[in-house]
Amino acid sequence: MPKMGMPRRRGLILLVFLVAFGAWAAGKWWEQEQQLRAQEATLTRLKQEAVNLGRKRESLAEQVKRLENEDYVAELARQYFFLSKPGETLYLMPRTPQSPAPNH
């Protein structure tokens, strides 16, 4: 009869080991799942940033093309630096409309 207790004890030790291993494996799986979700969120953010940078690049390329045009550069010089062509007279106008005078 004493021999019957040994297999039962081995079975119990094996069961405890399997439960402990299963818990450890489940914890590792959960940790990796969280890391994967964080990386997917980062990837989504970076893809959106790449799209935005592509749009900005296109806009800047278009602006470079416009700056190659002398008429456009002259227009910018007039607008921002108040330059004029020879013989032109500059009139400075207020940028915001003034309120109308009250009628009595």
Segment 64-76, tens digit of pLDDT: 999 999 999 988 8
User: Do the beta carbons of residue 73 and residue 67 sit within 8 Å?
Assistant: yes
Is residue 88 assigned to a domain?
no
Q: How many domains does the chain have?
A: 1
> What's the pTM?
0.52
pLDDT tops 60 at residue 94: yes
Place of tokens 């227009």: 75
Is residue 69 assigned to a domain?
yes
**Which is higher by pLDDT, 4 or 97?**
97
**Where would I find the H helices in the chain?**
5-67, 70-81
Is residue 90 assigned to a domain?
no
Q: pLDDT tens across 1-39, in order?
A: 455 566 888 999 999 999 999 999 999 999 999 999 999
Is residue 55 assigned to a domain?
yes
Is residue 49 assigned to a domain?
yes
Is residue 93 assigned to a domain?
no
Residue type, 33: E
Is residue 91 assigned to a domain?
no
Query: 23 lies in which domain range?
Result: 10-81
pLDDT tops 90 at residue 90: no
